[in-house]
Amino acid sequence: MTRSGPCSTPSSAGRPRSTACAGSSCWQSRVRPLLVVFENLHWIDAETQTFLNRLVDGLQGTRILLLVNYRPEYRHGWANKTYYGQVRLDPLAPESAEALLSTLLGNAPDLLPLKSLLIERTQGNPFFLEESTRTLIETKVVVGRRGAFHLASPLVEHSRARHGAGHPGRPHRSAGPRGEAPAQSAAVIGREFSLPLLQAVMGGKR
């Protein structure tokens, strides 16, 4: 399996490189079936989009299964392909979102406020819920193991804080690593979030 995400490479060699990469993938599929995964196409750059378009155009007759995911604002021209199919992933109902979080985090009583906050902020988007959970685990806001986590510290200070506006859009690359990390953390929390919660997700960084 080949897994890829939006990448950035020098655009000067864009056309030859994208053509060569697409051709290489098709050649590999002759040797064995190939699964190619592209994630978060709503953050895709121009050169990766060019490669992806060339790959899609050449898929028919190959042994390649191409899986992609993206948010509704992303647009492409593949819908008229006979070998294209789309599975719409709608927001989860509150009870389903709760069940997902219980599977990932567990049912510790101190997690109830956090679960409610995540469901509210992500509006039931399963991708956001999963990414938010992963971020909270990696930054040790919650500690434990899969299905048996608990809060590392009380959530009271976060829930009392004033909310700031956030938007789950693409991080601004010119901000560099220091600016990109807060944007990515804000993206997985949801459209609105408290500053203390964002700081907690980032491990206390400002």
pLDDT in tens, 111-160: 999 999 899 988 898 888 988 899 899 888 899 998 999 998 887 544 44
The percentage of the chain sitting over the pLDDT mark of 90, rounded to a whole number, equals: 33
Same domain flag for 103 and 189: yes
pTM of structure? 0.53
Same domain flag for 56 and 129: no
Same domain flag for 63 and 98: no
The rounded radius of gyration (Å) of the Cα atoms in the chain is 20
**Residue 104 placed within a domain:** yes
- pLDDT at 40 (0 to 100): 87
Same domain flag for 64 and 110: no
| Cα atoms in the 13 Å half-sphere on the side-chain side of 114 | 27
According to DSSP, residue 109 is labeled G
Domain extent for 63? 2-68
More confidently predicted of 77 and 189: 77
Same domain flag for 124 and 33: no
Same domain flag for 114 and 53: no
**Residue 137 placed within a domain:** yes
The number of domains in the chain is: 2
**Residue 86 placed within a domain:** no
End-to-end C-alpha distance for the chain, whole angstroms: 38
* Separation between Cα atoms, residue 83 and residue 151, nearest integer Å: 46
Lowest pLDDT segment from 33-37, 41-45, 163-167, 185-189: 163-167
SS3 call for 136: helix
